[in-house]
Structure 1
């Protein structure tokens, strides 16, 4: 997060009390910005060299003009970061006037009212950007910062569901964290009942091992979103089994390939796909799954997830079945079947879908029967 450091000799000390402390009018401040360089790409939460100094958030300076109005209130974070804000913007976004704190500000001639919040500057930065409908992705807040900001938004009467709707800045911010912390981001979406976010984030969890979900994560996301994640994995596994159970079709008898030889292809297909049908579970990887004959010199495919396997990877696993098939007609039938498998697997859903809520008794029964929990 970008800060302007204020010299203590030109700027008063941060207010000792939380609300109503007098802070000079920003139009009367002169020479308060030091020569210390500001790093434009510094993330929110950067460690300040002198935490006792008052600092101004670069995104909310005294000169920030919104709706043709200069700031008329100062928000002071717990680490003495000053945010020059606009009361009408905060009042419009908050249903409780910032937890009742906004009502306490008292105007005095030449001074602006200030409100001290218990949250740190990086959290307040996300909160104010959300209230203003602005993006703060360029500050690179951590997932922990975003989670604390969502809790703060709820506390200060801001509807999180409204501001996390698709194409909203906060929606895009949370999505930007999903590729790096998918299960934690999904749990955060479940905690706040953010349906659209949970659906999108679930696409990053196809290869996630459900057996590693901790009690804390399960509690955070709640039983409904936990159940839906299991259903997504189980549904994809069932679909994959149904797709690959069917062997390639037999071609008409030719002089070089009679019906007895047709069985070679069927057996090779059944051997290569047997582990999908009998051993696979939603969370299980298959490092021992190898369709490459030892004579071909290929290395085994390791660590691929059954549920999260891509169509191209599935094709790569099935293609070597034909390495030992001499009949060109059989090889052609094999390639046609593999193409059908790839197309069918590509059409299987990769995200959550809406499903009715289950009663607690049915949900407990479902979870108890899952071998991966």
Structure 2
């Protein structure tokens, strides 16, 4: 007989002994407290609870159609607010667990909060499985998990999305509508994967547009010389905007524009370029942090809206 080491017959919760036994699909016994399961579940843990105590005083045995790795490593640990990281469950197992939760009346959106061990464990897989984790969060409307995960999808090629993933993700988190329609949904606090890419590309173009400030003409640097530098800035900005990627690094921005400044013999022009590049890097870094919806689409795609929006 295999018995869980964590959920054993002697396991106490608030000085109470377990009164129900769960038997996993692979014949492992888990001794649990029904009150915790009933509090976490909206359907009596798949209509298995509550139950009357056995005549001999022993815990009732309930068979669960889940393997012990799923039942013990994650579901019960999540209900008891315990970390299962030491079991090192694979990502596929975690996905299976989250998908299985609704069958037992457990809402992933309410059970997997940023303060819980399971949330932290899931997010450790974001660097290696960003799309799968984002899709999982989207499918169960776990906004708190989808937001940080989306930052790992900036370099993802959206045209490669499979239909099955699109269906599982759902339209709210995918937002395949045209950019001009997106403003209708802006007040809904939901991430938009397509708009994440479109919005960042549009934001980059807007940030690149203003050239460095001009300085008063000097003997060594007349107005036409500064004009030539501003044209070079515009050409470099146009090239970056044409190849704009949502994951464009700040190092690329610095290397592109500081090279122009290095070619100028004027110290004032160099200072203006360096100040403009520093501001550009800071602004783009801030956009990088606001990965899901940095600004409403009507502002990003219609600059004329900017002033009205900023007054709000």
2:276 to 327, 333, 337: 337
The C-alpha deviation readout for 1:149-180, integer Å capped at 9, x for no partner, is 12222111122221123312332232222222
Please state which structure has a larger fraction of its residues in helix: 2
* Contact 2:19-2:58 at 8 Å conserved across structures: no
2:291 to 351, 354, 357: 351
1:260 and 2:200 are equivalent in the alignment? no
Report the counterpart of residue 78 of structure 2 in structure 1. 130
Report the counterpart of residue 318 of structure 1 in structure 2. 257
Report the counterpart of residue 184 of structure 2 in structure 1. none
Give me the CA root mean square deviation. Answer: 2.3
1:67 and 2:14 are equivalent in the alignment? yes
Report the counterpart of residue 10 of structure 1 in structure 2. none
Look up the SS of the partner of 1:83 in the other structure: strand
Question: What are the residue-to-residue correspondences of 1:52-201 with 2, within 5 Å?
Answer: 54-103=1-50, 107-109=54-56, 111-125=58-72, 126-201=74-149
Distance 1:106 1:355, change over 3 A: farther
Task: For residue 323 of structure 1, report the CA deviation from its aligned partner.
Answer: 2.9
Segments of 5+ residues of structure 1 without an aligned counterpart are: 1-53, 281-305, 357-373
Q: 2: distance between equivalents of 1:343 and 1:333?
A: 16
Aligned length: 278
Q: 2: distance between equivalents of 1:94 and 1:59?
A: 21
TM-score by length of 1: 0.69
* Contact 2:18-2:33 at 8 Å conserved across structures: yes
TM-score by length of 2: 0.81
Look up the SS of the partner of 1:98 in the other structure: helix
Task: For residue 353 of structure 1, report the CA deviation from its aligned partner.
Answer: 4.2
Q: 2: distance between equivalents of 1:98 and 1:351?
A: 37
Report the counterpart of residue 20 of structure 1 in structure 2. none
* Contact 1:105-1:115 at 8 Å conserved across structures: no
Task: For residue 186 of structure 1, report the CA deviation from its aligned partner.
Answer: 0.5
* Contact 1:199-1:353 at 8 Å conserved across structures: no
Task: For residue 143 of structure 1, report the CA deviation from its aligned partner.
Answer: 2.4
* Contact 2:214-2:226 at 8 Å conserved across structures: yes
Look up the SS of the partner of 2:220 in the other structure: coil
Report the counterpart of residue 230 of structure 1 in structure 2. 194
Task: For residue 313 of structure 1, report the CA deviation from its aligned partner.
Answer: 4.1
Segments of 5+ residues of structure 2 without an aligned counterpart are: 176-191, 297-312
